[in-house]
Amino acid sequence: MAQFISDRREIDFLLHEVLDAESLSKKHEPFAEFNRKTIDLIVSEARNLAVKEILPTQKEGDQQGCTLENGKVTVPESFKRVFQIFNEGEWLAMTEDPEWGGQGMPRTVTSPAMEYFNGANYPFMMYPGLTHGAGKLIHEFGTDEQKRLFLKNMYSGKWAGTMLLTEPGAGSDVGALTTSAKKNDDGTYSITGEKIFISGGEHDLTENIVHPVLARIEGAPEGTKGISLFLVPKFRVNDDGTLGEFNDVVCTGIEHKMGIHGNSTCSLALGSNGNCIGTLLGEENKGMKAMFLMMNEARLLVGYQGFSCATASYQYAINYAKQRVQGKNLLDMMNPEAKAVTIINHPDVRRQLMKMKVFVEGMRSILYYVNYCADMAVVAETEEERAKYQGLVEVLTPISKGYVTDRSFEVCSQGMQVYGGYGFIEEYPMAQLLRDCRITMIYEGTNGIQAMDLLGRKLGMNKGKPVMDLFGEMQKTLARAKKIESLTPYTEKIEKAFNKLGEVALHMGQTAMSEKVLNAFANAHPFQDATGDVILAWMLLWRGTIAAESLEKAKKKDKPFYEGLLKSLQFFVETHLPITMGNLIAVKNTSGAAIEIDDASFAG
């Protein structure tokens, strides 16, 4: 079953030949132990855990789902044992400070583990994933007392964590929330309100669940400027670390969803009986600033969730196409004695598999590269270098979430198509992968919001320096590729795409600050889509350059792999990049039709 999650050869190529992950151990003392041998061991252990323990729970989690009875949520039975094994392996806080129970790994090294675990069962992985994010908030903004009481218990998986933002009637508009906080004489706050769509908001995996909650202190300004962040545990925690009384956080319902059935998506009532107590996390009225730390990390996690569905779908589709016998070879159609062949021999199936291959390889490269940039910001020797890599992370976050999950859903749909009618039947894995993947385009900020973030914030951030730094990195790859004659047909076309993107980005940035601002944002998502395509082309060129350089001296067993990378580059440049160029032209038109049409002209 291992092949149905991800390709180990591909992962090793990215880690060691593209990103040179081992070099991080030589640049930063806390990373010193993560040499190649250790990295490979971590990847192997993550793969074993994913395949042997987590993957078998995927289908049961989907079929069994979660149940609510008397305010208590029960998760699929198989999750409990796996959650224990996962925590015993100390996988929950891989990148965090060992002082608080973390492993201190570079984020680059954790990338394969995130891919394997989420590919095996990402609805299950939402429980430790959200716990890590909530713990990160406490680590960054908590008082010494809050860290002492909560952090180790969360990073060990003894307690879980969530993120309480969304409310009825205030979905993406967080500033419209109505949850209130009244300050008490002892410095705590009484919290009252309702939250919805809370992933892992209630469950029976842990003895306590710690909720970071956005609320408005009585008298605080309206909108996002008046929002504060509070720490609200399901059970109060005594000064000695033991659990106290129930904290009036009640699960009032769980959603019956299209996918991710194994994760409990809850409605929570806080303070219905006037007895919900929270402590301020960070500063008053600075809750959104703090929460964005978790949201940015969560958006990258969502990118991995969507991608994990895509890479699993691709692996299943390859295996199925190599085994499923149906129809004669096209060249033997008129031969009455010709036997049926496996469907991987049919040109249209090969096209579908090739499209899946190209996008899976490119998306994996984007996600791993963002983690690599985060590590480079840590090991940077100068403030300028640190700011450069942090800026790259910021610019690439909406691409990693928005573009990657859009493309991941397309890959899952393509995988279902390879299976034909069987792909539509729940007995096979493709239906669940497609259903589970769909939410990744919606939560943690819809992909339309990601596109608005890219256009409205990231393009002009720091006077455009992060975007220029990104183009600078692209140009480095282009210069290296130009030295290889066999890549010339691809480098020329990709260079034109780079230049066109720069031209369109400038136009969109200017339009967004003009009287045609609404036109610009009506085209923000197509702009994000085209930007992602060009970044993916860069990644494929980077990979293809290394493949071309390595091919002559490669061992016989590695030659097909490198040749496959070059075919991926060729396929994308010849079949998809022309579509991207057309999209860039369309985006530059900045059509105002969607803005100008009268509301009454929409049917309904």
Q: Residues 444, 473, 492, 503: which is the catalytic one?
A: 444
| Mean per-residue pLDDT, 521-527 | 98
What pLDDT digit, counting tens, does each position of 335-367 carry? 999 999 999 999 999 999 999 999 999 999 999
CB-neighbour burial class of residue 240 (10 A; exposed 0-12, middle 13-18, buried 19+): exposed
pLDDT at 7: 86
- Contacts for 561 with CB less than 8 Å, ≥ 6 apart: 9, 13
Measured in whole angstroms, how far is the alpha carbon of residue 169 from the centre of its chain?
26
- What confidence score (pLDDT) does residue 2 get? 41
In degrees, to the nearest 5, what angle opens at C-alpha 438 toward C-alphas 435 and 441? 170
- pTM listed for this prediction: 0.96
Q: Alpha-carbon distance 65 to 59, whole Å?
A: 10
User: Token pair 């042997």 is at which residue?
Assistant: 52
- Tens digit of pLDDT for each residue in 98-118? 999 999 999 999 999 999 999
pLDDT digits (tens, 9 = 90+) for 12-49: 999 999 999 999 999 888 899 999 999 999 999 999 99
Distance CA 453, CA 447 (A): 10
Q: Is 444 a catalytic residue?
A: yes
Please identify which residue in the block is written with the tokens 């956080």: 249
Residue 597, classed as helix, strand or coil, is coil
Q: What is the chain's alpha carbon radius of gyration, rounded to the nearest angstrom?
A: 25
- Please check whether residue 277 is in contact with residue 191, taking contact to mean a CB–CB distance below 8 angstroms: yes
Q: Identify residue 527 by its one-letter amino acid code.
A: F
Whether the CB-CB separation of 160 and 201 falls below 8 Å is answered with: no
Sign of CA dihedral 441, 390, 200, 288: negative
The CATH code that applies to domain 160-289 is: 2.40.110.20
Helix/strand/coil for 342: strand
Secondary-structure breakdown of the chain: helix, strand, coil percentages, each rounded to the nearest 5: 65, 10, 25
Q: What is the 3-state secondary structure (H, E, C) of 159-181?
A: CEECCECCECCECCCHHHCCCEE
Largest CA distance in the chain: 90
CB-hemisphere CA count at 13 Å for 294? Answer: 28
Q: What is the mean pLDDT of residues 485-499?
A: 97
Confidence of residue 297 (pLDDT cuts 50, 70, 90): confident
| Overall average pLDDT of the 501-521 stretch | 97
Residue 440: CB partners within 8 Å, gap ≥ 6? Answer: 302, 303, 305, 306, 309, 405, 408, 409
Give the number of other Cβ atoms within 10 Å of residue 318's Cβ.
Answer: 19
- In CATH terms, 20-67+75-155 corresponds, of 3.40.1190.20, 1.10.3720.10, 1.10.540.10, 1.20.990.10, to 1.10.540.10
Band of pLDDT at residue 172, cut at 50, 70 and 90: low
Tell me how far apart the alpha carbons of residues 566 and 540 are, in angstroms, rounded to a whole number: 8
Q: Among 159-173, 282-296, 395-409, name the most confident range.
A: 395-409
Helix intervals (H) in 22-94: 24-27, 36-49, 58-64, 77-88
> What is the distance in angstroms between the CA of the first residue and the CA of the last residue of the chain?
48
pLDDT band for position 4 (cuts 50, 70, 90): low
Q: Is a pLDDT exceeding 60 seen at residue 168? A: yes
Backbone dihedral angles phi then psi of residue 227, each to the nearest 5 degrees: -95, 135
Query: Is pLDDT above 80 for 173?
Result: no
pLDDT, average across residues 146-158: 97
Tell me what pLDDT residue 169 has.
75
Select from 288, 290, 292, 312 the least CA-distant residue to 300: 292
CA nearest to 227, candidates 288, 296, 171: 288
Minimal CA–CA distance to 110: which of 84, 87, 92, 128?
92
Quickly state the pLDDT bin for 323 (edges 50, 70, 90).
very high
Residue 217 · residue 226 · CB < 8 Å: yes
Token pair, residue 533, equals 């395509």
